[in-house]
Amino acid sequence: MAITQHSKDLSRFFTEATLQRESSPLKTLTKYMVADPTLVSLGAGLPHPSTFPFAQIGARVAQPGTSVEDTHTEKLDVSVMANGSDTVEGLAKFLQYGNGRGVASYANFVREHTEK
């Protein structure tokens, strides 16, 4: 199991069934589906971006080191626009659910937010 500086090795909690699982053959094809935008995916969690009816998606979250119940601290507004920004992917990538590791900018935000 590859371990990055931010991940914890939880493999000691794996059951025998978990240890015997192999990678999904469909997941191994994801890199080919992403490489060819003309390919229509019928699986692997890669719906066509034109099916997303959103211009913006947002959330209000607690500031690092506080809780949602803390009424004295202003909440942090986070949003993702359809065409993205310099630091956040657009919704066409953000709403894909095929990558088990998640969207890079969101994973970075969560990591930074929880480290504080």
**Res. 17 pLDDT band, cuts 50 70 90:** very high
pTM over 0.85: no
User: pLDDT tens digits for 50-103?
Assistant: 887 888 888 888 877 777 777 777 777 777 777 777 767 778 777 777 556 677
Instruction: Look at residue 41 in the predicted model and tell me its pLDDT.
Output: 63
Q: Which residues of 35-62 are buried (b: 16+ CB within 10 A; e: fewer)?
A: eeeeeebeebebeeeeebeeeeeeeeee
- Higher pLDDT: 49 or 5? It is 49
Q: Give the per-residue pLDDT at 78.
A: 76
Alpha carbon 83 to its chain centroid, in Å, reads 17
> What's the whole-number average pLDDT of the chain?
75
Output the pLDDT for position 16.
92
3-state secondary structure of 77: strand
Write down the pLDDT at residue 90: 79
pLDDT given for residue 5 in this prediction: 58
